Amino acid sequence: MAQPGDEQRPVVRRTSVWFEVIAFGLLAACGIAITAAASHPIDARFTLALDQCGVNDRLRAVVSAQGRSLYLDTAGETMGNPGLEIAETQCVLEALSVPDSVQQRMASENDGEHSAMWAGLEANWTHRPGTGLDVQLSF
């Protein structure tokens, strides 16, 4: 029996506190993810160039998750070295307005790593006759 002056303490359930902590953490994480996505919007230029050229081989033409880089793997002369056809790679480079001078360098400079920059786009490539032209483009 309760005596006068006895105070009843409210019962705090630990599960509700943990739920609130977890809910707050999830909301904060979602806010960070949304902010990050908004500050780095997906860029569709590479995907549009691939679509324009009918390049469907996404194992040999790989666009990064945010659309900021593109890897092109062109077939070489060696049997068993699959890759994009040279015409497909040229079409994509043209669609991205890669200067003719850079395309000529890509076609002629063998062995070693090469690079070029223009209009906010950077290209790094290797070209070996046996394995083909590998190009990494990024904004």
Six-digit token pair at 126?
């290797």
Low-confidence ranges of the chain (pLDDT < 70): 1-41, 79, 81
The pLDDT of residue 5 is 58
The pLDDT of residue 37 is 45
Closest by CA position to 44, among listed 114, 102, 95: 95
Strand partners, 126: 113, 134
- State in Å, rounded, how far the first CA of the chain is from the last one: 76
